[in-house]
Amino acid sequence: MNRTALVTGGTRGIGLGIARALAKDGWNLALCGLRPAAEVRTVLSELQQAGAAVHYIGADLARQDDRRRLVEEVRSRFGALNGLVNNAGRAPRVRADLLDATEESFEEVLRTNLQGPYFLTQAIARDQIDRRRTDPTFTASIVFITSVSADMASVNRGEYCVSKAGASMAVRLFAARLAEDRVPVYEVRPGIIATDMTAAVKDAYDRRIAGGLVPERRWGQPEDVGRIVAALLRGDLPYATGSVINVDGGLSIPRL
C-alpha cells in the first residue's frame, strides 16, 4: 500500500531526520520549506534514492495564502495524506530577556510555530476524515514536533516556549476531536538536538551536557526523532492518541 506523509520543514535538521526514516519505511513524501527547490535538490535526490517518491513545495506556514496553496498542491498530487508531521518551526531571531522581548518577535514565532501548524492540521484533518468515511481501510495520523520547551522555561526565549506550549495544547485538542474518526494525534518533544538551529550554542551545551544536564550525556540526533515518528506513523502505538513522547535523553526527568 502506498502511503504519503507531509513533513513540514522536511529538508533540514529534525525534519530531514524524519523524512529519512519515513523514506526507509517506504513512505512517499511531500516536503515543504522556505528555500527554493534548487537549494534542496541534493536532499530530494537522496530521499528518492531511498525509494521514496518526493515532492517539494516552497511555502511559509506563517502565511495563510502559502498554507492554502500548500494544501491545494498536496490534494492535487496525493489526495488525502496518510500522515502529517508538523515539524517546521523557528527560534527567535534574537534571544532576548523576557523583559526586553518585542511584540514583533512574539508574533513572528507564534505565527510559524503555532498558528501555521494549527490551521494546516485543520485542513489536512478534514481531508483525512472524508477519506476514512468513504474508505475505512485508509489509515491516517498526525504528529506535532514540539519541544521540551513546551514545559521547561527559558527566560531568554519566552516566545518560543509559549509557542511550543500552545502546540502541546493543540495536540490535545485535535486528539480529542479526531479520536472518534480513528485519526490519532501525537506529540513528540525533542530535547537538545544537533541541528543548524542549535549550532550557535554548541560550545555552551557541550559543556552542560558533559556536566550531566542530559542524563545520557550526549546530544540528540535528528535520526533519534525520526525513528520515533516513523513508529508513530506506522501505528506501533495503538490506543495512545494524545500521547507525549520525550526524545531528550532524560533531560526532562525531575531530579534532585
Distance CA 132, CA 31 (A): 23
Q: Which amino acid is at 117?
A: P
Query: Which long-range contacts (C-beta less than 8 Å, at least 24 apart) are formed by 152-161?
Result: 152/252, 155/97, 155/98, 156/95, 156/96, 156/97, 156/98, 157/91, 157/92, 157/95, 157/96, 158/98, 158/101, 159/92, 159/101, 159/105, 159/106, 159/109, 159/110, 160/91, 160/92, 160/109, 160/113
Q: How far is CA 146 from CA 15, 46, 102, 243, in A?
A: 12, 26, 22, 12
Sheet hosting strand 54-58, strand order edge to edge: 54-58, 28-33, 4-8, 83-86, 141-145, 185-190, 244-247
Distance of CA 82 to the CA centre of its chain: 15
| Strand (E) or helix (H) holding 30 | strand 28-33
Instruction: Extract the C-alpha cell encoding 100.
Output: 526586553
Which one of the listed residues 56, 118, 160, 186 is annotated catalytic? Answer: 160
Q: Which amino acid is at 9?
A: G
Catalytic-residue membership of 160? yes
Indicate which residues carry an active-site annotation.
160
